[in-house]
Every structure is written in structure tokens, then in C-alpha cells.
Amino acid sequence: MLDSRSRGRSGERGRGSGRLWTTALAGQRKALEERLAAEVAGRAHLMATRGVGRVLESLHPDLDRTPEEMRIVKPYDGAGDLSGSELVLSPSLLGWPDLHVQVCDPLDAFIAYPAGGQAAAPKADAALPGLIGTSRVAIPRDLGASRSTTELSRRHRLAPSTVSCHLSVLLGAGLVSRVRRGPAVRYRRTPAGDALLRESR
């Protein structure tokens, strides 16, 4: 049990740690938030199309699932019963490539998995047509270089609204990035987008 002085020092250490991380990551905060948003969107899409089981199977190579149980490779033995309990899945950008698990307390069970792990490069034959349509695969292929919506519309003979719609989906999936340069907004394929296209070859 902590006395008031110990609690005060503990609270100050916590606030100091928070300030350290806020300062250290200040320049990357927006990019990190965008990556996490794309990760959550990708998992939500996978859950909606393939089910919760597929999401769990895709989190990390050290996690194996059967209809009855999950097995996680760790250097220690342990077991937990999560029947009727919530299991929180938390993407982690700073813990990569490790899988962190807490299942001993069913009231606070979670799995912290590396964001963009196995799900970073879904199989193109399943993911890409469902994501943007087979006739529109040319759009992400053309984003190896930075391009605007107008350029893409002209190059692929598509209506600007159609291009914008596809780019919005690609952004949400983390397959393209968006940068504003003056009045123009330009798009470019991300490493996850590169990996997805490599799978289609």
C-alpha cells in the first residue's frame, strides 16, 4: 500500500513519462495516428468480411487459434478462462514485433499486437478486388509516384469523383498516403500498398 508521499512521487513519474513520450513523438504524432486508424479500419474490414476468427489468426505468428482455444507462444506456461469476458485487441506501433498478452485477469484481458503485422499485406486475390474492384487495380499501381486526383482522372479516363472514392478507400486501408503541397493534394502508395501489389504478381 502506498502512502501519500509515495503516491505523489509515482504520479509525478507517470506525468514525466507522459511528457517524455509526447515530446519524443511530437513530430510523428499525426503519422502514427494515421497508421493506427488505418490498422483499425483494416481489422474492421477483415472482421466484417471474414469473421472474428480470421482477425485473431492474422494478429501474430505466435498466436494459434482453434474453435475451442487460443494458444500463444511464450517462454512461460499459463492458462486463462475468458468465457463470457471481453478481450481487447490493441494495435501497437512501439512494441513491434512482439506480442504482449494479459489473460490472467479476465476483467482486464488484452492482446497488444504489432500494427501492420501479418495484416499489412493481405492476399491481393482476396483483398484488392473487394477493396477497389478488379477494374480499378491500375490506380494503386500508378501511385508509385506522387499524383493528384486530377492527374489520376486524366491518366485513367475516370471521373474525378470515382477516383476520389477509390482514394478514400485506399487511404482508410493504409495503402496510400496523402500530402498537401500548396493548393494541391497528392497521393502516393505506402509500403503496405507496395506489399499488396507484390502479392498480385
DSSP codes, the chain: ---HHHHHHHHHHHHHHHHHHHHHTGGGHHHHHHHHHHHHHHHHHHHHHH-HHHHHHTS-TTEEE-SS-EEE--SS------TT---EEEEESSSTT--EEE-SSGGG-EEEEETTSGGGS--HHHHHHHHH-GGGTHHHHGGGS-EEHHHHHHHHT--HHHHHHHHHHHHHTTSEEEEEETTEEEEEE-HHHHHHHHHT-
Q: What is the pLDDT of residue 11?
A: 52
pLDDT of 55 strictly over 70: yes
112 vs 24, higher pLDDT? 112
pLDDT tens-digit profile of 148-192? Answer: 999 998 988 888 888 888 888 788 778 889 998 888 899 999 888
